[in-house]
Structure 1
């Protein structure tokens, strides 16, 4: 049992878990949203109850925000940082041990870009940003179409399948693996590691779940160190090879960046595609409109992102005393920002619970965050989802779910674990880009 893991779990999860359990016994809305099956199956009813009259809401041990303009303002305010405050005092001898044994790189510990602020954030982000410019993403279109066609060809004709395992998960993992120079044979291994590590983005997870996540992080780290060394000797045409050649980041930082890119490049997009399938099958009139007007597909993806975001929330910590939203926050206050709540704010979106692929301001959602931490891969996720969804429904127009979808047991990364379906007769095996 490694002391750095114990410290991390107590600081980031253990104390919160105690609060959460006590609050759940009292029926607290925040605890129900972030610590019960109710918060996974139907978070939006709880969010509307918590929103109340708007502004910041106090729920021990954090503050929460659900209003679009307030969430956006905090995401863009440099008085708020991304790091979590320390709740466990550490004796100096133990501190020295912890410093000698850094945590394996993972998406929610420094130097991950998710949890560092300026100027380190710019130093880590700038070398990677070139791979996600609109021009760079556009160059991936042909590859996305090819991967999608191959996956559709592998689905059964007029037969049963799981649309998460066989399709929604396979599109993004194939693309991000190629972007990082990983062999195709390692994709399934990354999917397993991703399932283990993704709970780290939740709050109050159990010790066993945390330990499994950190052990998988260690395995990913060992893999990436060997991969980086291979790229030093034989660079390829991928992001990591470019970063290795530039020499701006240490091996540990390269592995941290690769781990985050794997998580962000896969976890959000698989949830987006899976949710898109469910929303469109449950709203056949909207799907018919897309078949008649395929130019609406990009906006349909924005509406899916708005109404049911793959990432439900994020958090910020005050770096100083802050006055915002009519509330005074002391330094070190944690604010949980509900991206899902912001996306259903009636002050911004008319009839926000209605799914409307023609909504003219759907793109005003905050599903990819805002400010300096806005998602680097947002453009790539949009393109992958639009093509994957359109190709699926054009190839299998009689596609239907055969059983209720199964949710992933996660609160922050919100999506489906299984989508049991019957494809129906295949109409075409290739979708021409349009």
Structure 2
């Protein structure tokens, strides 16, 4: 009963109100309750853009404008939000009273929900270990892992494989497992927790989704606490062991802070990269002319990844709260009010990206996208994600240049994260054609 009450406060009430608001055309409500919006973020952005660069909705402001998004993400006049912090006061009270005490990516001490000085302390510690040299070494691991996974696919007997299951999810979970010092036998559990916990960034989720998310978070919290105890007792050469040592020598993290940091590294490093790889494979299979260009000019791969990130942002939106009254795009945003930044819409702003819906791997400003957020909350793992995207996509298409879609696939049932839950692929269309003709 307690969990049901908590769900109602955090999600059920919002879901009900959003359904009503969506029928009345409120853009914020449609983000939550209109399935068409989730399927068509670019078209939704175009529709809303006509209403101005900053739109006042029933409960928040909303922007699809690249300039406004860039400004708010970098402004000291705005801060990140904690889960439930912008709910009506009675619902906040209920959420606090029913708090199960689980670590959550949108609650302190997660990097996603704290500001300086705590944010500075956590980020400085991670940055001291997550250096360019360390990322370069991880790139070698990405290449080795991709090659190994593709070897397995090469010997796959089935004519059709789900590339998300067999490749897109396994590559980042292996790399992030190395970072966290996760034993090989535990990695399937991490994959399972990640899949079930993906909607944790959404609001207005169903009761069934909420139960799955809570079970995943509880399971992951329990596993992670034990794993960190083992690393403290017998540290290795992995980056998590280095973070533990650094926290003991410098600005010390308590157990909760360390667990939150490790959890976010895993969740952010895994979930977004799975989506980047799945989105990239689907987009390139839909545009074989780009694959021909990339085969002839492989130096374009880094820019192609930027364009994939721009058009299909793995993280679709974020939000900030005003810490004081402030003017934005000619409108007054009062202290405590929320601005929802639709990253996917900002990435298709025609004032920044000409012909914004066109997939152009040679676009000269593709890297101006905001898919990794901005300001002090710019994604710490951006360099690694780019490396995984470039290596993962390039090596896949070099190994399987004749891969083709074998079905429509299915999208993940999430709104903040955008990706594929399944994507059936025929690895060698020539072999499939020969088999069917024989």
**Could you tell me the TM-score, scaled by structure 1's length?**
0.92
Corresponding residue for 2:319?
Answer: 315
Corresponding residue for 1:231?
Answer: 231
Q: Distance in 2 between matches of 1:331 and 1:93?
A: 23
Please say if residues 33 and 47 of structure 1, whose CA atoms lie closer than 8 Å, have aligned partners that are also in contact: no
Corresponding residue for 1:351?
Answer: 355
Q: Distance in 1 between matches of 2:92 and 2:239?
A: 41
Q: Distance in 2 between matches of 1:362 and 1:381?
A: 16
- How many residues end up aligned between the 2 structures? 422
Residues 270/251 of structure 1: CA separation in 2 closer, same or farther (3 Å cut): same
Render the CA deviation track for 1:335-392: whole Å, top value 9, x for unaligned. Answer: 1101001100111111111110011110000000000000000000000110111111
Q: Distance in 2 between matches of 1:219 and 1:16?
A: 26
Please say if residues 81 and 319 of structure 1, whose CA atoms lie closer than 8 Å, have aligned partners that are also in contact: yes
Q: Distance in 2 between matches of 1:276 and 1:400?
A: 13
1:195 aligns with 2:199: no
Residues 150/263 of structure 1: CA separation in 2 closer, same or farther (3 Å cut): same
Determine helix, strand or coil for the equivalent of 2:37.
helix
- Structure 1 stretch displaced more, 246-255 or 405-414: 246-255
- Structure 1 stretch displaced more, 338-347 or 29-38: 29-38
The correspondence of residues 2-401 of structure 1 with structure 2, limited to 5 A, is: 2=2, 6-7=5-6, 9-83=7-81, 84-89=85-90, 103-155=101-153, 156=156, 159-245=159-245, 246-247=247-248, 248-401=252-405
Please say if residues 78 and 323 of structure 2, whose CA atoms lie closer than 8 Å, have aligned partners that are also in contact: yes
**Could you tell me the TM-score, scaled by structure 2's length?**
0.91
- Structure 1 stretch displaced more, 202-211 or 369-378: 202-211
5+ residue gaps, structure 2: 432-438
- 1:181, distance to aligned residue in structure 2 (A): 0.6
Q: Distance in 1 between matches of 2:332 and 2:79?
A: 16
Q: Distance in 1 between matches of 2:377 and 2:70?
A: 12
Q: Distance in 2 between matches of 1:345 and 1:409?
A: 25
Q: Distance in 2 between matches of 1:88 and 1:79?
A: 23
Please say if residues 13 and 206 of structure 1, whose CA atoms lie closer than 8 Å, have aligned partners that are also in contact: yes
Render the CA deviation track for 1:213-232: whole Å, top value 9, x for unaligned. Answer: 12221111111111111111
Please say if residues 395 and 426 of structure 1, whose CA atoms lie closer than 8 Å, have aligned partners that are also in contact: no
Please say if residues 70 and 374 of structure 2, whose CA atoms lie closer than 8 Å, have aligned partners that are also in contact: yes
Residues 216/332 of structure 1: CA separation in 2 closer, same or farther (3 Å cut): same
Residues 354/233 of structure 1: CA separation in 2 closer, same or farther (3 Å cut): same
Please say if residues 157 and 424 of structure 1, whose CA atoms lie closer than 8 Å, have aligned partners that are also in contact: no
Q: Distance in 2 between matches of 1:297 and 1:87?
A: 47
Across the aligned residues of Structure 1 and Structure 2, the Cα RMSD in angstroms comes to 2.2
Q: Distance in 2 between matches of 1:21 and 1:93?
A: 22
Residues 255/397 of structure 1: CA separation in 2 closer, same or farther (3 Å cut): same
Residues 200/140 of structure 1: CA separation in 2 closer, same or farther (3 Å cut): same
- 1:42, distance to aligned residue in structure 2 (A): 1.5
Corresponding residue for 2:436?
Answer: none
Residues 386/92 of structure 1: CA separation in 2 closer, same or farther (3 Å cut): closer
Q: Distance in 2 between matches of 1:10 and 1:331?
A: 26
- 1:35, distance to aligned residue in structure 2 (A): 2.2
- Structure 1 stretch displaced more, 200-209 or 85-94: 85-94
Corresponding residue for 1:431?
Answer: none
- 1:253, distance to aligned residue in structure 2 (A): 1.1
